[in-house]
Amino acid sequence: MPRKKSKNYTIKYNFSMGKEDLKEIMEESFLIYFKRKEHNCILKNKSRIK
């Protein structure tokens, strides 16, 4: 079994187990990642407009 798949599985497993601390950490890191991605999209669009 490839490493990435097992990693994703453990994350899903922990979410369903309801480990609150891990859940919060996951959500925070996801939000940070998502905001960064959104910011990059905005920068790309700005450079396109110019």
User: Which residue segment(s) compose the domain that 9 sits in?
Assistant: 3-49
Q: pLDDT tens across 1-48, in order?
A: 445 555 555 555 555 555 666 777 778 888 888 888 888 877 777 777
Half-sphere exposure of 23 (CA within 13 A, CB side): 8
Share of the chain above pLDDT 90, in %: 0
Q: What integer pLDDT is reported at residue 36 of this predicted model?
A: 87
**pTM over 0.75, yes/no:** no
Given a contact cutoff of 8 angstroms between Cβ atoms, the answer to whether 28 and 36 are in contact is: no
Q: What integer pLDDT is reported at residue 38 of this predicted model?
A: 84
DSSP 1-50: --HHHHHHHHHHHHHHHT-HHHHHHHHHHHHHHHHHHHHHHHHHHHHHH-
Look at the chain and report how many structural domains it folds into: 1
